[in-house]
Structure 1
Amino acid sequence: MFYFAVLLLVAGIVLLVLKRRSIVGFRFATLTGLLVGALGLLLALSSFTYIVEPYEVGVPTSLGSVGGTWKPGLHLKSPLTEVTTYSTRPSDLNLTGDDTVEVRSSEGGVLYVDLTVKWAIDPEHTLALYKLSGSAANVQQRLVYPDTREIVRNVFAKHTSVEGYATQREAISAEMEQLITQRLSPRGIIVNSVNLRNVKPSDVLQKAIDQKIQQDQATQQAAAAVLTAKAEAEKRRIEAESTAAANTVIANSLTDKILLSQCYEAFRAAAEKNPVYASPCGSGSGSSPLIVDGTKR
């Protein structure tokens, strides 16, 4: 930009000189020379300043020398100074589609993982990030992208296919977020969240998972049936013991006198609706017939 501004200034001066020598038209040379010279002057002055926009951090470099970071605002600089800016707003790394991560479980099964990493640059570490990556775009491509893919593969390699596909997804997502944060935080990259969006098994693995789930369900049903049978058997045993105990109590409590008394009561109740009759109560030598008159109370 600075060299272009100098070129415009020179062109404006040349036009004004040519006007004085009447080589070109007076009006054309004057107006064109003034416009080109003014534009060159403005561009030359702008090359001595630089504005860092809000939510950005600038890193100036001049002739191979790296300066300190610049905060948002107007800054004076040399025309030979170049400024590389980094946005401090959160960015999304979407590993999906062509960037879907292919991983293998501890059993060797192939899974396809889609996730999103929300990250941002720590303004205090911008200078270190410039030395590592060189530009804001390279921060994601050289640091966030490869480290995330590596950690995702390593985490899924510690789990079985069923755990990665179904039973342990939340735990795996939390573990990945922790490891990615630990890896990128010292480099000045803030990890806000890691969202495990989808885990899709390969066709071969899907069949194996379905078979494993069916086997587990059959095993659980068989175990439930065994428990039910044991419970029913225990119930019947308890009922039998209770009945036996009750019969023992009754047998021990029913003496001959009690039985004879109950017999008298039974025939007295029957005599209220029947004529006089005689019936024995009890048995043995000590027993005697019972005469009941149904016409008397």
Structure 2
Amino acid sequence: MFVLSIVLLIAAVVLFLVGRHQEVTGWKVGAALSGVAGLLAATFACVHVVSAYEVGVPVTFGKTGTPLTSGVHFKSPFTDVTSFSTRPVDLDLNGKDVVEVRSSQGGVLYADVTIKWAVVPAKAVELYRLAGSEEAVEQRLVLPDAREIIRNVFAKHTSEEGYASAREQIGSQIADLVKERLAPRGIDVTTVNLRNVRPSDKLQDQIDKKIQQEQATERATEAARTAKAEAERKRIEAEGIAAANKIIERSLSDKVLYNQCLEAYKEAAKANPVYAVPCGTDANGTPVIVDSGKR
């Protein structure tokens, strides 16, 4: 704009001189218009408007100045102003930008992360020196630092912790470290959301095999426990039968058997004619009751 104003002013002077020598009104009018346009261009070159939710960094001959807040500012025509938006920006690390990490066991995981960050207006000059532009802030500072921290945190945990048991803890650690790393550089990180963690295909196969092995082990353990319980039940049952037989054996003396035979004889004699014969190896043996009504 400043160069244009110089050109217009030079054109105005030339037209004025030509018109003066030739005494042509048109040349003088053109000189006047060029002069006015040059002055307007020079004025605009010395004025810069910073939009709302932006901060400007003035640079004059390679030297940065004080950050410019939103509003109208007068500046040197040799000063360039680089604007930075102060609105929160979402950096989505998913899809083709998903972060590939490795656990402490070497398993490959894929982490989907969203980072919400914004430029701190008071530190816009430091950001300009580090990155140079608003687009470069994300590409040179937020993105590489976030990826590095995410990988380092996951490397301290096992695969199972990474995608299941410790996800909340890992997300909290990542958020704290990202904020701590970027805050001194003039980047305010408000939210770090660990949205999803999924294992690679190879790791998923290993997980499935491990689950199947654990289930098989549980079934074998349960079968062994059932067999042991059944064996214990049978042992206790056998011991009970053996103890009962010993009691019966001790209680079945000759006198008891003789008395039972007599009782049986009495019962049989009530319905049928019976007779008794001695039983045993001698005449004093236990009597045997014989029913004479049956041949």
Q: Same fold (TM over 0.5)?
A: yes
- The whole-number CA distance in structure 2 between the counterparts of 1:40 and 1:110 is 64
Aligned to 2:7: 7
Aligned to 2:139: 141
Aligned to 2:112: 114
Aligned to 2:250: none
What's the C-alpha RMSD, in Å, of the aligned pairs? 2.9
- The whole-number CA distance in structure 2 between the counterparts of 1:217 and 1:180 is 40
The structural deviation recorded for 1:16 is 3.8
Shift in CA distance, 135/199, structure 1 to aligned 2, threshold 3 Å: same
Within 5 Å, give how 1:1-297 maps onto structure 2. 1-22=1-22, 27=26, 29=27, 32-217=30-215
Q: What per-residue deviation string (whole Å, max 9, x for no partner) do you get for residues 218-260 of structure 1?
A: 556777x59x97xx99xx9xxxxxxxxxxxxxxxxxxxxxxxx
Listed as ranges, the gaps of 5+ residues in structure 1 are 237-297
- The whole-number CA distance in structure 1 between the counterparts of 2:165 and 2:219 is 19
- The whole-number CA distance in structure 1 between the counterparts of 2:5 and 2:132 is 27
Partner SS state of residue 134, structure 1: coil
- The whole-number CA distance in structure 1 between the counterparts of 2:112 and 2:123 is 29
The structural deviation recorded for 1:80 is 0.9
Partner SS state of residue 5, structure 2: helix
Q: Residues 161 and 209 of structure 1 are in contact (CA less than 8 Å); yes or no, is this contact kept in structure 2? A: no
- The whole-number CA distance in structure 1 between the counterparts of 2:66 and 2:219 is 69
Q: What per-residue deviation string (whole Å, max 9, x for no partner) do you get for residues 106-145 of structure 1?
A: 1111122221111011122222222222222222122111
The structural deviation recorded for 1:196 is 1.9
| Larger Rg computed on CA atoms | 2
Partner SS state of residue 182, structure 1: helix
- The whole-number CA distance in structure 1 between the counterparts of 2:142 and 2:165 is 28
Matched to 1:179, the amino acid is: L
| Structure-1-length-normalised TM-score | 0.68
Partner SS state of residue 78, structure 1: coil
- The whole-number CA distance in structure 1 between the counterparts of 2:216 and 2:158 is 20
Q: Residues 20 and 28 of structure 2 are in contact (CA less than 8 Å); yes or no, is this contact kept in structure 1? A: no
Aligned to 1:287: none
Partner SS state of residue 39, structure 1: helix
The total of aligned residue pairs comes to 231
Q: Residues 119 and 190 of structure 1 are in contact (CA less than 8 Å); yes or no, is this contact kept in structure 2? A: yes
Listed as ranges, the gaps of 5+ residues in structure 2 are 234-295
Q: Residues 91 and 119 of structure 1 are in contact (CA less than 8 Å); yes or no, is this contact kept in structure 2? A: yes
Shift in CA distance, 13/218, structure 1 to aligned 2, threshold 3 Å: farther
Q: Residues 96 and 115 of structure 1 are in contact (CA less than 8 Å); yes or no, is this contact kept in structure 2? A: yes
Q: What percentage of aligned pairs have identical amino acids?
A: 52
The structural deviation recorded for 1:89 is 0.6
Q: What per-residue deviation string (whole Å, max 9, x for no partner) do you get for residues 127-178 of structure 1?
A: 2222222222222122111110100110111112222223322222121111
Partner SS state of residue 87, structure 2: coil
The structural deviation recorded for 1:190 is 0.9
- The whole-number CA distance in structure 2 between the counterparts of 1:165 and 1:17 is 81
Shift in CA distance, 119/18, structure 1 to aligned 2, threshold 3 Å: same
Matched to 1:6, the amino acid is: I
Matched to 2:12, the amino acid is: G
- The whole-number CA distance in structure 2 between the counterparts of 1:215 and 1:35 is 90
- The whole-number CA distance in structure 1 between the counterparts of 2:34 and 2:6 is 11
- The whole-number CA distance in structure 1 between the counterparts of 2:32 and 2:152 is 66
- The whole-number CA distance in structure 2 between the counterparts of 1:178 and 1:222 is 46
Matched to 1:175, the amino acid is: Q
